[in-house]
Amino acid sequence: MALHWLRLCGLGLLIAASGARAQLQIEITGATEKRTPIAIAPFAGESALGTSVTGIVRADLERSGQFRALELPPLNPVPTEAASVNYAEWRSRLADAVVVGSVSSRPDGRFEVRFRLHDVVKQASLGGIAYTMTKEQVRATGHRIADYVYEKLTGDKGVFSTRIAYVVKRGNRYELQIADADGAGEETALASFEPIISPAWSPDGRRLAYVSFENKKPVVYVHSLLDGKRNVAANFRGSNSAPAWSPDGKTLAVTLSREGGSQIFLVNPDGSGVRRITTSSAIDTEPRYSPDGKWIYFTSDRGGTPQIYRMASAGGEPQRVTFEGSYNVSPRPSPDGRTLAYITRNSGRFQVALQDLANRQVQIITDSDRDESPSFAPNGRMILLATVIGGRGLLSAVSADGRFKQRLSAAAGADVREPAWGPFIE
């Protein structure tokens, strides 16, 4: 399944942003107002790696929408983390920050990469790290360096080392894939001739819960990404769907029809201990825990139209959360618990809305018309979603302020859908 990430610059230029093994295509369609200009000097000796580690750092930082990597002329001598840094010179290049580093070969055949980040404005070193790695670890190490730079300069943790899950449909074949947050290095966790929907990462990032239709009905599985082992979490009579992990990873909220209708139950990830938590004659589905575990947000049409409600996860009377419009579904609380992302039908178009849970202000942040399945990055700065453009299913990522957008699509003939952004990994 060949997917490619490409970058569409503001000027409409399409450039391959990563190597031949890259899989999704990325297209940037909007830009944030102010991006921090950063100089990432090619690391001395990095050509020995085959893959440019600074190219990965640069692509990561630019993809965040918060940085603009400066074009640099060939530097001679190549600056390294050990060499002196002339802040005035980097200031003259209009850089607010600069990353310098070097790569050296070790006697054991591995490589050592060292870098240092400098704040050019404050004329201060912001530290650095040395990594020992093989050529196969260049991409992962580049993401770690980008995470370090991002966190030092923005105060938020970077998400470049995180992974995403999504489903690719090509013809009658469905593949649940796992890729790096930049879409590269994708691997197929599950291939099937029946649909796969609703992947949900366990809080430790080691397992995925999802719904597979391989038995001609929806069944919830928990799938270990470490060894490929799967167990049935919910296969009761009727439909079993919409899995959501509790923040402690000990419980799944699921939608079951085993007692008639579609109601929300809790179940242990091994399939034991099922207990019902909603009691209505309506459709109650799409449960999601708040990050503190105290609330479960869900979709219900108990009021006549599908709207979002929340109830205490310990049980209790649901409260309605959405009031504007006649179709509000797929609630996703932000990692800080302050915002709720969901899909709203707005004049016949399905778009991503954000509600400030403190003051109930609602903002629609997309302008597409078939958006589905929003998923927050673990730092809350971006939202990944599925949409349809020109009849093709693709993923879109939008900054939480709605200003910065990019699209990720598969090669022609394949639809990408059902994204889920994984947690931070240590």
Of 180-209, binders to other proteins (CB under 8 A) are: 185, 187-195, 197-198
Contact between 213 and other proteins by CB under 8 A: the answer reads yes
Contact between 84 and other proteins by CB under 8 A: the answer reads yes
The CA distance from 68 to 374, in Å, is 26
Q: Which of 47, 105, 125, 361 binds other proteins (CB under 8 A)?
A: 125
Helix, strand, coil: what percent of the chain each, to 5?
Answer: 10, 45, 45
Contact between 228 and other proteins by CB under 8 A: the answer reads yes
Q: How many residues in the shown chain lie near other proteins by CB under 8 A?
A: 96
Number of helices followed by number of strands (H, E) in the chain: 3, 32
CB–CB of 289/273 below 8 Å? no
CB–CB of 99/75 below 8 Å? no
Contact region for other proteins (CB under 8 A) — 13-21, 26-34, 79-87, 265-273? 79-87
Contact between 406 and other proteins by CB under 8 A: the answer reads no
Contact between 320 and other proteins by CB under 8 A: the answer reads no
Contact between 326 and other proteins by CB under 8 A: the answer reads no
**Residue number, 329 or 404, with CB nearest to other proteins:** 329
Q: Which of 40, 234, 242, 383 binds other proteins (CB under 8 A)?
A: 242
The CA distance from 209 to 425, in Å, is 18
Contact between 232 and other proteins by CB under 8 A: the answer reads no
Q: Which of 1, 8, 31, 129 binds other proteins (CB under 8 A)?
A: 129
CB atoms under 10 Å from CB of 51, counted, come to 16
Contact between 419 and other proteins by CB under 8 A: the answer reads no
Nearest alpha-carbon partner for 271 in 307, 222, 204, 227: 222
Contact between 215 and other proteins by CB under 8 A: the answer reads yes
Q: Which of residues 17-36 bind other proteins (CB under 8 A)?
A: none
Q: Which two tokens stand for residue 304?
A: 């006549």
Q: Which two tokens stand for residue 152?
A: 């030092």
According to the 3-state scheme, what is the secondary structure of 184-221? CCCEEEEEECCCEEEEEECCCCCEEEEEECCCCCCEEE
Can you name the residues that pair with 234 across neighbouring β-strands? 220
Q: Which of residues 273-292 bind other proteins (CB under 8 A)?
A: 283, 285-286
Q: Which two tokens stand for residue 10?
A: 């503001």
Q: Write the binding mask 146 to 175 for other proteins: x where contact by CB under 8 A, - elsewhere.
A: ---------------x-x---------x--
Q: Which of 251, 262, 375, 396 binds other proteins (CB under 8 A)?
A: 262
Contact between 123 and other proteins by CB under 8 A: the answer reads yes
Q: How far is the CB of 49 from other proteins (least distance, A)?
A: 11
Q: Which of 66, 251, 278, 299 binds other proteins (CB under 8 A)?
A: 299
The helix (H) or strand (E) run that includes residue 92 is helix 87-92
